[in-house]
Amino acid sequence: MKGLRKKAVVLAAVAALAMSSLAGCSRDFTVDNNKVAAVVGDSEITLGVLNFYVRYDQIGFESYYGSYFGDNLWRVEVSEGVTLAESEKEAAIDVISQAYILEDHMSEYGVEITAEDVAKFEAVADKFIEANGEEACALISATKENIVEVLRLYEINA
């Protein structure tokens, strides 16, 4: 479980930034967390997991590139007719899909997600939700299940 603690700290910091960047938004940006966004083999990628992953990634991009591009960051074309927003959504689906594919081959590489690992993911999720509040968590699909699943996928990809 190398790096889990570091990931948890980064996740909490990113969440704090996400919440501050969402302050003042009055539109309802919540999604149906259980709706299937994509299917990889026998695994379904729910919209909630995808939304949480994308929102988590979004904050990293905004903190790194925001000073260069300002409010236009997500409208910047990264290739002809493709914005950064569109590109990152596709990249998120690719990364999550890759994790589900790797999951099918974990035993070949001696990778295992133990009950202890899951308990740690759940503890991180509980702290995240407690630190960010119900409304903010709803905006980014930060349910305990989605957070645990994203952490599990990060661990598989690690």
β-bridge pairing 77-79 and 36-40: unpaired
CB atoms within 10 A of CB 43: 14
Note the pTM of the prediction, 2 decimals.
Answer: 0.76
pLDDT in the model for residue 6 = 46
pLDDT at 41: 87
Helix (H, G, I), strand (E, B) or coil at 45: strand
Long-range contacts at 5-13 (CB < 8 A, ≥ 24 apart): 7/124, 7/151, 7/154, 8/124, 8/127, 11/56, 11/124, 11/128, 11/147, 11/151, 12/127, 12/128, 12/131
Closest among 156, 114, 138 to 7, alpha carbons compared:
156
Name the pLDDT band for 9 (thresholds 50, 70, 90): very low
- Which has the minimum average pLDDT: 27-31, 46-50, 86-90, 119-123? 27-31
